[in-house]
Amino acid sequence: MTNSSFRAVYETAGTYDKLLLQHFYGGTEDIDLVADWLTEHHAAPRAALNVVEFGCGTGRITDAIAPYARNLVLADYSETMVAAVAQKFPDAQTICADTSDAVTSLLAADRAATFDLVTAFWSLSYPIGEFFEELSSAGVQPRGDQAVAEEHARKFVLDLVGLTAPGGHLLAMLFDAESPEQQLVTQAWETVAPFPGGGRAYTRHILIDALHEAENRGDGTLTHTRLGGVAWAPTRESAREWFFGVHFKHHPQLLDDLELERDVEEFIDRYEMPEGGVALPSGVHLIDFHAVAHPRASLPDGLAS
Ligand SMILES: C[S@@+](CC[C@H](N)C(=O)[O-])C[C@H]1O[C@@H](n2cnc3c(N)ncnc32)[C@H](O)[C@@H]1O
């Protein structure tokens, strides 16, 4: 049976892998999107790059990037996740810390501008959100001055850029807060506490705005793609667990909410396939910041010299 304590999804061994649904975009799984991106930018795997992954979880997507890494740094705030990746990637340096603290400690350790690849898959919205509010089983507490929070969140994004070596990339995947699935998730969390700016897209807006700022000051170029796809639940029960275990993190208030339970059942009804399984519409934002001397480096070869 799945552990149903608050945040067990990230803090109890085996729970994340058990509850996670596969995500497909145009028939391609998210991990293969990353593998395709790597092939496009770096051709065949060659252990040549300095790579850091924040919010690495159990190393699901690390599998795709590890063959390209000469040096691999894996960071996650959860001891359980860090223990899992340390076993799976014994040569990697691991950091057990909140992403913003991990970034600060890497900068303090002279790692600025040293990573060819700075990555974070499905995990950046947490550290950005944590500048604004603290999530605990007791509820969601806003943290002081929200304008100051925004300033710190933007600085955090610019620090991520600061880790990226000249010519390197910051590559992130973020959930799409506007998808019907995520709107239901937002509606549920808003019964616990409202989000800054109303809704959960604000973390992505902060990320994108700060990367625009970095582009405007000449630090690189931003490519941002949104892909529509599906989260595939092989059974109704796995779709239910996806909502309550992963999205709602077994939060006691949400577990006890009968109206929410009904809404989730209706949602699952809507997307249940006649042949079995539930195809939940999903979206992913693929964000790639290329650290080049913009705009000069954006010219074709003949024009730049
Ligand atoms: C949705 S999972 C994604 C894991 C992995 N990247 C993947 O794609 O399978 C989010 C991960 O972020 C971690 N996480 C959540 N909040 C964090 C924070 N503030 N700092 C660092 N890691 C965090 C969780 O422990 C979890 O491993």
Query: Residue 88: inside a domain, yes or no?
Result: yes
Backbone angles phi, psi at 125, to 5 degrees: -65, -25
92 C-beta neighbours (distance < 10 Å), count: 22
pLDDT category at 130 given cuts 50, 70, 90 is very high
Q: Crossing angle of helices 258-271/180-190, nearest 10°?
A: 180
Let me know: does 203 contact 174? Beta carbons within 8 Å: yes
**In angstroms, what CA-CA distances link 120 with 52, 188, 203?**
8, 25, 14
Could you identify the atom of ligand 1 that is nearest to the CA of residue 120? 6
Does 126 sit in the ligand 1 pocket, CB within 6 Å?
A: yes
Could you identify the atom of ligand 1 that is nearest to the CA of residue 80? 25
Q: Specify the range with the lowest mean pLDDT, choosing from 141-150, 229-238, 273-282.
A: 141-150
Let me know: does 181 contact 128? Beta carbons within 8 Å: no
Query: Residue 263: inside a domain, yes or no?
Result: no
Does 21 sit in the ligand 1 pocket, CB within 6 Å?
A: no
- Residue appearing with tokens 């395709």: 36
Query: Residue 254: inside a domain, yes or no?
Result: no
- Residue 1 in this model has a pLDDT that exceeds 80: no
Q: CA 117, CA 215: separation in Å to the nearest integer?
A: 17
Let me know: does 54 contact 34? Beta carbons within 8 Å: no
Query: Residue 2: inside a domain, yes or no?
Result: no
Q: How far is the CA of 55 from the centre of ligand 1 (A)?
A: 4
Query: Residue 125: inside a domain, yes or no?
Result: yes
Does 127 sit in the ligand 1 pocket, CB within 6 Å?
A: yes
User: Residue 43 is part of a domain; what is its CATH number?
Assistant: 3.40.50.150
- Residue 232 in this model has a pLDDT that exceeds 90: yes
Q: How far is the CA of 62 from the centre of ligand 1 (A)?
A: 12
**pLDDT, tens only, 139-161:** 677 788 889 999 999 999 999 99
Structurally, the chain folds into a number of domains equal to 1
Query: Residue 3: inside a domain, yes or no?
Result: no
Beta strands 278-290 and 164-175 are antiparallel
- What pLDDT is attached to residue 121? 98
Query: Residue 211: inside a domain, yes or no?
Result: yes
Does 130 sit in the ligand 1 pocket, CB within 6 Å?
A: yes
Could you identify the atom of ligand 1 that is nearest to the CA of residue 246? 1
Does 78 sit in the ligand 1 pocket, CB within 6 Å?
A: yes
Does 242 sit in the ligand 1 pocket, CB within 6 Å?
A: no
**pLDDT, tens only, 62-107:** 999 999 999 999 999 999 999 999 999 999 999 999 999 999 999 9
Sequence letter at residue 174: L
Does 57 sit in the ligand 1 pocket, CB within 6 Å?
A: yes
**In angstroms, what CA-CA distances link 27 with 220, 224, 232?**
31, 20, 11
Query: Residue 184: inside a domain, yes or no?
Result: yes
What is the separation of C-alpha 110 from the centre of its chain, rounded to a whole number of angstroms? 25
pLDDT category at 304 given cuts 50, 70, 90 is low
What is the domain range of residue 84? 23-230+281-295
Question: Both tokens of residue 305?
Answer: 């010299």
Let me know: does 283 contact 179? Beta carbons within 8 Å: yes
